[in-house]
Structure 1
């Protein structure tokens, strides 16, 4: 099964806090030149630095094809604002937005807001799933043709094609409709790290892309199988789930590399399993795991973004392209098209067409 699946590659463009847009733009353009599916920008309330979603909104007009996936914390934030911000990113990028849903687990982060104390991971990931559900409903709350923009009659929107969400979660409620029209992709791509057990249920139920950490192709295949089985149990098409192995990459000693493979540590910044080697070694690992592991690709986090991403794109990716294992151009204009995902139908339009109610 894995040998048939197209290979998907993504990369993190974060690292030490940087407050200039030029560095993020340059890295995103570099990844775009390698035809990577998307770039991510990690973020949390526990680290200094600019807001990842706002940075990606700046990167959007400076790029044309690459998908843009900032981390958005669902804990302590307002779901309505989250959905509006992600929808706005999809509009300014012309359909290239995603969001990596994450949670805040520490008491220190909770004190920044003063609304509540830290909660157990299971409760936080339940809430994250509810935020993803509410967000999808808000994105659907405008039908695609709801905007009229008829100056002669003074009508901007067909109110019959706006829908109340009326969502009740465990910690919040949302009425809707959204204040931003339905995004170009219908629903921006939802990404979840599904390695931990509490996050895996949310990933299987709501994610389009799931990142997992694994130390062998067999372990990766087992995680992918569990996630797809969970997606099917929720009535989803399991083949619509894209599972990427998270890997922290150190290509600093490209000329004198150790044997290629994965090591058990260190867990750098908690993001992925560690690989140290050269660009050719990384290409061999990606090839072997993709053929044996039942996964769709890799999400690579460079130890040194400026150094390692260049070696990933011009070394590893170029070799995979030369071997016809990875594409040389983006197949479409939207992130969903890069990932081979269809544009979701609007649930409220479908219900109205079938004679249902919103």
Structure 2
């Protein structure tokens, strides 16, 4: 029998690009974030890329942070064409303004059209971009650790703000950048904000296994999800990581606009997922979605689900008010956030500072 771990649930609150004023206002995102928070979801994501018009996801969730209390906030952050020092500073800032609820979904930019927006370099192959993304994740962790937790003194009598002996140069040299450090933002409340990687495409799987706390996998069937999860856990172990610190979530687009599907003659249960150009999709009612989540998670295929509503307001409302409520009624999902930080929601420990550990072993 598989070991049943706590069910993790997350949702995307973005949608197809639109140009109306409401889509560019903060109220829409605050409303959706509060709805997801009411359902005690672990975190929300907000998609972003250089290839689509819209607001900056990290800035939007920084606005959402003071309007929410518990839910984790995970914007997409593209590591290509951006400075790793700025990436780490921005994510650390989100962790501070949200009081420890930040994460980031690392992504890359592979098109020539997007490269032309910056004019710094040409597009690169996906494997090289994901190696670079891994280096950004590594140097970000070092920068977040470059301040020890008690580095701030704030002594007005002496005018000293920081103990310089507790700041550390990271001296990182990657294939496309170098960073000396230390950071300009104190160590975040979580130590290191949660790193999320979508490993569906294949090229990102190695980066996910080495650096991610949460990995998203697109799978249309539970056996596919289970195989992806086991592969990621094995890769993580080869990198010296404890596989039990990795949370693998099945990524599904959900369309809850219709009703429950009747069972067809000769079938024990109706088909629930299909795989199209946009990846695995579920189309049906919220009760059948609860059954799918129960079956996949109960069978040990995944640690949870990352659900992208086809219609953000409609489908998120039905997800929270029906699917999540049903899972809670069955005792399969919590009814409140037991902790204050995203790491606590996910059952992940606050990482020890690597520089403090190095000093202790020297």
Q: Distance in 2 between matches of 1:75 and 1:43?
A: 13
**How is 1:132-281 mapped onto 2 (pairs within 5 angstroms)?**
132-254=137-259, 259-265=270-276, 267-268=277-278, 272-281=279-288
2:11 alignment counterpart: 11
- Residue 260 to residue 28, structure 1, CA distance change in 2 (3 Å): farther
CA offset digits 1:244-303 (Å, max 9, x no partner): 0000000001366783511122x33xxx41110000010000000112243100000000
Q: Match of 2:35, SS?
A: helix
Question: What is the number of residues matched between the two proteins?
Answer: 351
1: CA distance, partners of 2:81 / 2:30: 29
Could you list the runs of 5+ residues in structure 1 that have no partner in the other structure?
none
Q: Deviations over 1:73-99 (max 9, x none)?
A: 000000000000000000000000000
Q: Deviations over 1:137-166 (max 9, x none)?
A: 000000000000000011110000000000
> SS in structure 2 opposite 1:109?
helix
Gaps of 5+ in 2: 18-22, 264-269
Per-residue deviation, residues 192-224 of structure 1 (Å, max 9, x unmatched): 001222100000000000000111111111100
Structure 1 position 329 matched with structure 2 position 340: no
Give TM-score scaled by structure 2 length.
0.95
Identify the residue that residue 350 of structure 2 maps to in structure 1. Answer: 343
The aligned runs of 1:92-111 (5 Å cut-off) are 92-111=97-116
Structure 2 Cα separation of the partners of residues 62 and 255 of structure 1: 34
RMSD of aligned alpha carbons: 1.2
Contact 1:220 1:293 in 2 (8 A): no
How much does 1:331 deviate? 1.2
The whole-number CA distance in structure 2 between the counterparts of 1:85 and 1:123 is 24
Structure 1 SS opposite 2:351: coil
Indicate if the aligned counterparts of 1:280 and 1:315 stay in contact, CA closer than 8 A: yes
What is the CA–CA distance in structure 2 between the aligned matches of 1:178 and 1:2, rounded to whole Å?
Answer: 42
1:320 counterpart = 2:336: no
> Structure 1 residue aligned with 2:119, among 114, 126, 133?
114
